[in-house]
Amino acid sequence: MKLNLHNISFAYDHDRILKNINSSFISGNFYSIIGPNGSGKTTLLDLISGFLKPGTGHIDIDHVPISSLATKEIAKKVALVSQDYIINFPFSVKDVVMMGRHPYISRFSHPCAGDIKKVAIMMEVTGILHLQDRKINELSGGERQRCVFARALCQDTPILLLDEAFSNMDINHTLQMLALVKQSVKEKNKLVISVFHDLNLASSWSDALLMLKNGEIKAFGNSQDVLTQQTIKDVFNVESIVEFNKHAQAKQVYYPSI
Amino acid sequence: MILFSLFLILMILISLSLGYIKIPMMDIISILYGKISNNIQIMKNINETYIAVIFDVRLPRILTCAAVGAALAVSGALFQGILLNPLADPYTLGVSAGAAFGACIAILLNLSAAFVSVPAFAFTGACITLFLVIFLSYSSRNPMAGLSSNNLILSGIIVAAILSAGISFLKFIANEQVSVIIFWLMGSFASKTWLDFIAVMIFLLIGLFISMFFARDLNLISLGAKSATSLGVNLKKVTIILLVTGSMLAAICVSVSGIIGFVGLLIPHTVRFITGPDNRKLIPLSMLAGAFLLLFADTITRAVLPHEIPIGVLTALTGGPVFCWIFKKNRFK
């Protein structure tokens, strides 16, 4: 499966957020998007998930334009773990995770045994099974993020988009979730695109890096090739030392203290 | 659910027996059974007046009242769901002000056949208001942000404020008709006919079907716009359909019985403590509870109190304090 972005531009009023983005993402790979605040990372994911429509250009999945698909069809192909995990009504954790099965359950019918089993498995692997009857708005930020994560996994899509999906999780849960995602990429040939702020996590977990700045792609390629002192200086405007770390089995970034 | 239905049926029977003329419960059951099974034999030895009182006076009023209560509660549940605000009610978008403005014009113009023209004008007023509010809060450039709950609530408040100033002006120039306007605004079920009941019932059934059709989508909307879309909810379509449905339900209620506050706010909010936030359970149960509560209130004002007071006043006077109590209790639990 191949996700293609052709000449994508997007603007709110007159502020151009994304400019002429061309790129392809191939399944079986874990991609990370990195870039400074306001560089258009979230907007790019919103366009792929169909929440926003590009001003120019188009996005297709295996040459099927997503603009030709109904919202429900897109939901069977692309799942998004977004940053809006504030939920207004006191649904239970189990109910929220079950909402991931929404695109597959027809109107007026109840979830089948398969749906219920899937929800239980995903709650188990994300470590929220013991919270299943708790109300979502009574949980901590990290626990809530894991619920949203479990919900996206229940959607069972070939493409998974993560918008800073780990921002509120502790390091233990972050690594668990990353291992889970990596496993599904390698074993089930899924395509994952994740927005990261932590360059070291991005480097050690992803196959390819996409660097965005001011709505333009500054670098896109193999993580170990793209991550250099020069690109970090160009994109983030910080001095850094980038070297291979044998424990991480990847390049890691260090910032000299002032 | 079954329990609530039984409560409602019991309430209807009790309400039928109470009033200026007390009718024994056994007679009511015989009359109803006789009418339904078309068995005239059963009704033979029952006082003719009873039959007339029940079929021409009480039953239409009671059923209209129950249907209005049900419609207001369903409408309230829809608005609370769409606007992501448990304190929204059917009148949040200014539908009541629009209906009141339309009714005032009809009363002021002193149109003939007032029993048709007032509801018709009220309904038209409500519809125009709704479309104005949606138009104000809709933006073609950024349609997703356009129909956000903040935009809708703000537009509703602005339109309602303009309309209530308009109503004040109409009252000012109305001279002796001002009392008619004021009484209409306070709401009443006195002298409701079968026609009123059928009108409300048609809207209620269609509205209930549409709300149940989109009930699961409404659950997902509470996850936020982005999550709901990524889970396959066509947000714009669902929002507009449910807004129109909720407003139409409110509009028909206001047109038939004037402005009755608190049912649409209080019922879904309270029922949510029993059912949880799942709209598939919340909407039907709110409907039954709304019918029950409004009928209870109407029976009190009609049969128990020495003098009939407007139902809108009664619901606000009793519902308000109850709401304060529930709000305080659950807030600081």
Q: What is the pLDDT of residues A61-118, one digit of tens each?
A: 999 999 999 999 999 999 999 887 677 788 999 999 999 999 999 888 889 999 999 9
d(CA A93, CA A135): 6
Phi, psi of B86 (to 5 degrees): -70, -5
Domain A2-254: homologous superfamily in CATH: P-loop containing nucleotide triphosphate hydrolases (3.40.50.300)
Task: For residue B86, tell me if it sits in a domain.
Answer: yes
Contact A102 B233 (CB under 8 A): yes
Which ipTM score applies to this complex? 0.88
B3: in domain? no
H and E: helices and strands count for chain B: 17, 0
3-state DSSP assignment of residue A19: strand
Note the pLDDT of residue B325.
81
CA angle A171, A172, A175 (to 5 degrees): 80
Place of tokens 């991931």: A100
Query: CA-to-CA distance for B133 and B161, rounded, in angstroms?
Result: 12
Directed axis angle between helix B235-257 and helix B95-109, to 10°? Answer: 40
Name the pairing type of β-strands A159-163 and A78-81: parallel
Rounded to 10 deg, the angle between the B194-213 and B279-299 helix axes is 160
B162-172 burial by CB neighbour count: b if 16+ within 10 A, else e? ebeebbeebbe
Beta carbons within 10 angstroms of residue A249's beta carbon: 9
What integer best gives the mean pLDDT of chain A?
92
CB within 8 Å: B277 and A72:
no
Q: What integer pLDDT is reported at residue B18 of this predicted model?
A: 82
**In terms of residues, how long is chain A?**
258
* pLDDT at res. B114: 60
Q: Which stretches in chain B have pLDDT values below 70?
A: 42-44, 111-115, 140-146, 330-333
Q: Collapsing DSSP states into helix, strand and coil, what is residue A198? A: coil
- Chain B positions touching A86 (Cβ under 8 A) are 224
Distance in angstroms (rounded) separating the CA atoms of residues A49 and A82: 10
- Give the separation between CA B239 and CA A185, rounded to whole angstroms: 36
pTM here?
0.89
Distance from CA of B233 to the nearest CA of A (A): 6
Backbone angles phi, psi at A220, to 5 degrees: -150, 120
Q: What residues pair up with A189 in beta bridges, in sequence order?
A: none
CB of A10 within 8 Å of a chain B CB? The answer is: no
Q: Which domain holds residue B224?
A: 24-331
Check residue B333 and give its pLDDT. 46
Closest CA to B30 of B51, B5, B6: B51
Using CA atoms, how far residue B117 sits from A78, B104, B105, B256, in Å, is 53, 11, 10, 11
**H-run or E-run covering B7:** helix B2-17
What 8-state DSSP symbol labels residue B92?
Answer: T
Using the Cα atoms of residue B297, residue B300, residue B303 and residue B306 in order, give the sign of their dihedral.
negative
The CA–CA distances, whole Å, from B33 to A175, B2, B14, B26, B87 equal 69, 21, 16, 10, 42
Closest residue on chain A to B139 (Cα): A13
Is residue A86 less than 8 Å (CB to CB) from chain B? yes
Structure confidence at residue B115 (pLDDT): 65
The backbone torsions φ and ψ at residue B178, rounded to the nearest 5 degrees and listed phi first, read -60, -35
> What whole-number distance in Å separates Cα of residue A62 and Cα of residue A1?
6
Q: How far is CA B105 from the centre of its chain?
A: 22
What pLDDT is recorded for position B330? 66
Q: Is residue B151 part of a domain?
A: yes
Q: Which of A38-42, A52-56, B156-160, B184-188 has the lowest mean pLDDT?
A: B184-188
Query: Does A76 lie at the interface with B, CB-CB under 8 angstroms?
Result: yes
Token readout for A97 is: 């995770």
The enclosing domain of B207 has a CATH number of 1.10.3470.10
Does the beta-carbon distance from A71 to B234 stay under 8 Å? yes
Residue B301 carries which DSSP code? I
CA distance B215 to chain A (A): 9
Own/partner contacts of B152-155, CB < 8 Å, gap of 24 or more, are B152/B82, B152/B83, B152/B92, B152/B93, B152/B243, B153/B83, B153/B85, B153/B88, B153/B92, B153/B93, B155/B93
A233/chain B closest Cα distance in angstroms: 33
Contact B200, B119 (CB under 8 A): no
Strands A56-61 and A2-12: antiparallel
Task: Determine phi and psi for A75, rounding to 5 degrees.
Answer: -65, -20
User: Which candidate, A1, A40, A32, places its Cα nearest to that of A208?
Assistant: A32
- How many domains is chain B built from? 1
**pLDDT score, position B166:** 92
pLDDT tens readout for residues A192-219:
999 999 999 999 999 999 999 999 999 9
- Written in H, E and C, the secondary structure of A62-117 is CCEEHHHCCHHHHHHHEEEECCCCCCCCCCEHHHHHHHHHHHHCCCCCCCCHHHHH
Report the distance separating Cα A245 and Cα A227, nearest Å.
Answer: 13
B241 touches chain A (CB under 8 A): no
